[in-house]
Structures are given as C-alpha cells and as structure tokens.
C-alpha cells in the first residue's frame, strides 16, 4: 500500500477515489492473516467513502486525511461498534453511542474508520499475545509477538492493511509494537489528546496516539489530530542542525540485544552528521523512578477492574488474571507513596537532562520474541518491552519510536522530547529515518 502522503495526493488529484481506496483496504482487512482485525465495518466505511467521493466532485476537500482509511484500537470507542478491549469480560458490550473525541477529530477531517483492531487484553501488557481472540502475529514473522498493547494497529500498518491507525500508550503500548513491527509510533505529551471514550488502564498515564508507516505520514496525521484546523501544514522543515541530542549512558537504558544498540549508535551518528550536538549524560534516579510505574498502573488498573474481577475472574485471560491478582493487595499508602516519588523524581530527571532538546535511546531491550515466551536469552520479556518507554509516561513527555537500521527483525529507536514537542521529536525521527544507514 502507498504511504499516506501518496494516497492523499492521489485522492485529491482524482487519480484515486475514496471509494476505490476504501474498497482496497476492506479487501485487505478481510484477508488479514495476522489476527490484527477484530471487527470490520465494511458497509458503513463504503458508505462514508461514497459520500467523501461525492464531496470531492463538488470541490470540497477536507484535507490530507480526506477519504483515508483508519484503523482504531479496540480500546477506543467508535460509534455503532462495541468496544471489547480484547476481553471476554466485554463479549456482550453494546455498540458505543458516540465516537471518542480522537476518533471524531479524525473522522471530521475525512478519515474513514474501517475496522477495530486487536489489543492486548484491557491494554494490560506490552506483548500483544494475550486477548480473548488470541495473539496478534508479527507481519515479519508470524510466530513472534507484535508488541502491545496497540498490537493490531502496529501489525495492520506494518502489513500494509491500513495506512494509519489510532492507538493508546500507557507505558509502551504504541512505541513498543511500532518498534517490533517496524513502523513509526507517536506517544504525544500526556493530556495533549483527549482520552474520553477510551477504556482506562491507568488514567494518570493513558495517552492517545498514532501509528503510521513513516514519519511524514505520522506528522501529517498528528497535525490533524492535534488541531481542529489542522491540515497537515504544521509539519516542521526537515533537518536537525543545532538540535541538542542527549544519549543516556546508565546501565538501565542498555538493550539486551546488541543489534538494537548498534541501531541506536547509527541513529546518533546520523544525527551528529546532520548537525546535531550529541551529549552523553547520566540519570542516577532512573531506577527509583521506574519502580513507581508498576505500582501506579497496578493500583489504578485494579480499581477499574475490582468489581468485575470479584464477580467474573474466569472471564479474564490467565495472564491478565495473574497480573490483577498480584496487585490486588496494594495499599492506598503504597499508591500514594509511588505518586509522591514520581512527583519528586520527574523534576530530578528533568534537571539531569537539562541542556538537551531530545533523548535518543532504544525503544525496547529485545526485538520481537516468540509468542508466549516469558524469557528470551535469559531476559524477562515483559520488562524488556516496557522498561525503556515507561519513564516517558511517568514524565508525560512526548516520544516516538522510529525504525532503526537493522537486518532481520525490526528494532526501534526512541526519540523523547525534553524541550521539543511532538513536531520536534518527529523532525528528529525523520532525520533518523532518512539517514543512509536507516
């Protein structure tokens, strides 16, 4: 499938109609071999595409997403479709009464929702292989995980089934599947996109974001999602001359897979060659800060699920059930202590990286592991897929995962904004993507 930019230009010029594009996407989704699709909304998508095609004949163009097919993670409400969150607990969920605000914003800009996409059950996991509908499968190797919890969005984009997908990220859930599937995933700054109509995992961390096949496509879609008047024109000019790039050197940030380390080193080298100033730095508080994450998420997730979990524990997948059981005993004091530690250490981390605009580091410690594996090369899988992304949910900073230069299974390079906002981190990611070694 063409990238979003090419599709948008073809639709605007009349070389491709929204009807033709959506028909093609629906056909691809119907034959999905990756278990990325949980519900296809073909009839309504075709009707919307027909209406958008008619608008073009009348000279009305809504912008770069006019007639573009959009997949939505099944944690996010789409009017007329149930939100089942990958769980048998919500097997009988009624259709949502309204679109989530993020969906409504993209739909108003001309995007056509074609399907709800796979999610790790209730978004409570970074692997994407735990759901009532079975595991999502990585398009690069169907025996391996996609990463999670935005498993379906990453797999669908990577497989060329959709050009754009909407997901969520509480600790890893956009960037990790983007890294493992070889696509671009943006976690905006916390609170930048309304989280209404999104089933919560941990409300103090949950963030709505996007996945696409390349940085330009994602930047166009972000401009539309970010601003009611967004038209894709808010993309910054390319180049990183003068950007201050921080590379954290603590053991905490090191990947277990040397191929990932090489990809990050190549990305940093490309940025330096492009005029960025590279600074190595230390973050001595990172282990203590990261330790607050499972407590905060565990306490907030259990508060959401406590009633269902007491009444219907058997409707949860075994892995999710085990995680909820493990946090059931967390006390209010432990939760408040974790929040206070977070509030104390986020400014300390900010001070430690003062003087740089972005951090560049791995997205994950491992590349895609076999479905169901709990360890790989002696490394616990779940922490390996979560540890390097979750600190930027705790800080609330924007971060993007962009494919690094590797042979074989994809690896992600993460760009986290310190002084730069979403457009800035995407500009840095684009320089990594365009470098000859990527």
Give the per-residue pLDDT at 238. Answer: 76
Same domain for 187 and 75, yes or no, is yes
Cα pseudo-dihedral 399, 401, 404, 406, rounded to 10 = 140
Q: Give, to the nearest 10 degrees, the angle between helix 292-311 and helix 332-352.
A: 150
The Cα–Cα gap between 23 and 301 comes to 39
Spatial CB neighbours of 198, under 8 Å, sequence gap ≥ 6: 75, 76, 77, 100, 102, 168, 206, 208
The Cα–Cα gap between 437 and 415 comes to 17
Same domain for 154 and 256, yes or no, is no
DSSP run (H or E) holding 142: none
Same domain for 157 and 58, yes or no, is yes
Domain boundary among 174, 198, 226: 226
Which among 17, 73, 217, 390 is annotated as catalytic?
73
Whole-structure pTM value = 0.97
Total domain count for the chain?
2
Comparing C-alpha atoms, which of 14, 129, 80 is closest to residue 373?
129
**Residue 255's domain spans which residues?**
244-288+334-434
**Residue 275 CB neighbour total at 10 angstroms:** 12
Which among 17, 87, 116, 149 is annotated as catalytic?
149
- Say if 317 falls within a structural domain: no
Beta carbons of 71 and 166 less than 8 angstroms apart: yes
Give the per-residue pLDDT at 25. Answer: 98
The Cα–Cα gap between 134 and 375 comes to 20
pLDDT digits (tens, 9 = 90+) for 330-350: 999 999 999 999 999 999 999
Told to judge if 73 belongs to the known catalytic residues of this protein, a careful annotator would answer yes
- Say if 239 falls within a structural domain: no
- Say if 329 falls within a structural domain: no
Domain boundary among 226, 252, 269: 226
- Say if 181 falls within a structural domain: yes
Same domain for 11 and 155, yes or no, is yes
Beta carbons of 211 and 176 less than 8 angstroms apart: no
The Cα–Cα gap between 425 and 144 comes to 29
Domain boundary among 226, 261, 280: 226
The Cα–Cα gap between 260 and 324 comes to 32
The CATH number of whichever domain residue 250 belongs to comes to 3.90.1300.10
Same domain for 191 and 340, yes or no, is no
Same domain for 106 and 47, yes or no, is yes
The Cα–Cα gap between 371 and 309 comes to 26
Which among 173, 217, 363, 401 is annotated as catalytic?
173
The Cα–Cα gap between 240 and 263 comes to 18
Beta carbons of 425 and 402 less than 8 angstroms apart: no
Told to judge if 173 belongs to the known catalytic residues of this protein, a careful annotator would answer yes
Give the per-residue pLDDT at 434. Answer: 76
- Say if 96 falls within a structural domain: yes
- Say if 140 falls within a structural domain: yes
Same domain for 147 and 282, yes or no, is no
Told to judge if 6 belongs to the known catalytic residues of this protein, a careful annotator would answer no
Residues of the chain with pLDDT under 70: 228-236, 435-438
| Distances in whole angstroms, Cα of residue 419 to Cα of each of 237, 245, 246, 416 | 17, 11, 11, 9
Same domain for 60 and 102, yes or no, is yes
CA atoms within 13 A on the CB side of 307: 1
The Cα–Cα gap between 140 and 144 comes to 8
Three-state secondary structure string covering 92-126:
CCCEECCCCHHHHHHHHCCCEEEEEECCCHHHCCC
Same domain for 125 and 161, yes or no, is yes
- Say if 312 falls within a structural domain: no
- Say if 258 falls within a structural domain: yes
Same domain for 128 and 183, yes or no, is yes
Same domain for 348 and 377, yes or no, is yes
Handedness of CA 349, 350, 352, 353 (dihedral sign): positive
Same domain for 270 and 379, yes or no, is yes
């Amino acid at each position: 499938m063409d990238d979003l930019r090419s599709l948008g230009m073809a639709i605007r010029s009349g070389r491709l109609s929204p009807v033709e594009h959506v028909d093609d996407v629906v056909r691809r989704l119907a034959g999905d071999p990756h278990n990325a699709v949980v519900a296809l909304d073909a009839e309504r998508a075709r009707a919307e595409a027909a209406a958008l095609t008619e608008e073009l004949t009348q000279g009305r163009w809504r912008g770069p997403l006019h007639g573009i097919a959009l997949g939505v993670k099944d944690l996010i409400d789409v009017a007329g479709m149930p939100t089942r969150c990958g769980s048998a607990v919500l097997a009988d969920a009624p259709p949502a009464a309204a679109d989530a605000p993020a969906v409504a914003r993209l739909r108003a800009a001309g995007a056509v929702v074609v399907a709800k996409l796979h999610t790790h059950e209730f978004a409570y996991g970074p692997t994407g292989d735990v759901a009532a509908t079975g595991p999502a499968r990585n398009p690069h190797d169907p025996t391996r995980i996609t990463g999670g919890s935005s498993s379906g969005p990453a797999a669908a984009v990577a497989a060329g089934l959709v050009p754009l997908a909407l997901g969520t990220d509480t600790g890893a859930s956009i960037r990790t599947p983007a890294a493992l599937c070889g696509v671009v995933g943006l976690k905006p700054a916390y609170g930048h996109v309304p989280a209404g109509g999104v089933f919560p995992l941990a409300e103090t961390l949950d963030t709505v974001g996007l996945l696409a096949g390349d940085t330009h496509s994602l930047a166009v879609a972000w401009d539309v999602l970010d601003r009611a008047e967004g038209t894709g024109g808010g993309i910054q000019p390319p180049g990183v001359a003068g950007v201050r790039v921080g590379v954290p050197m603590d053991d905490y940030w090191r990947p277990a897979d040397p191929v990932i380390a090489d990809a990050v080193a190549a990305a940093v080298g490309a940025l330096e060659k492009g005029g960025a100033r590279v600074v190595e730095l230390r973050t001595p508080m990172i282990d203590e800060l990261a330790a607050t994450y499972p407590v905060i998420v565990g306490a907030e997730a259990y508060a959401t699920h406590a009633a269902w979990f007491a009444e219907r524990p058997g409707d949860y997948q075994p892995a999710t059930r085990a995680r909820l059981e493990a946090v059931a005993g967390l006390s209010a004091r432990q939760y408040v202590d974790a929040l206070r530690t977070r509030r104390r250490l986020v400014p300390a981390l900010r001070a430690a990286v003062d003087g740089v605009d972005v951090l560049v580091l791995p997205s994950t410690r491992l590349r895609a592991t076999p479905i169901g594996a709990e360890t790989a090369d002696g490394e616990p899988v779940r922490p390996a897929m979560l540890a390097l992304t979750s600190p930027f949910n705790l800080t609330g900073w924007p971060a993007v995962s962009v494919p690094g230069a590797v042979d074989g299974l994809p690896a992600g390079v993460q760009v986290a904004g310190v002084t730069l906002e979403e457009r800035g981190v995407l500009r840095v990611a684009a320089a990594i993507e365009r470098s000859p070694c990527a």
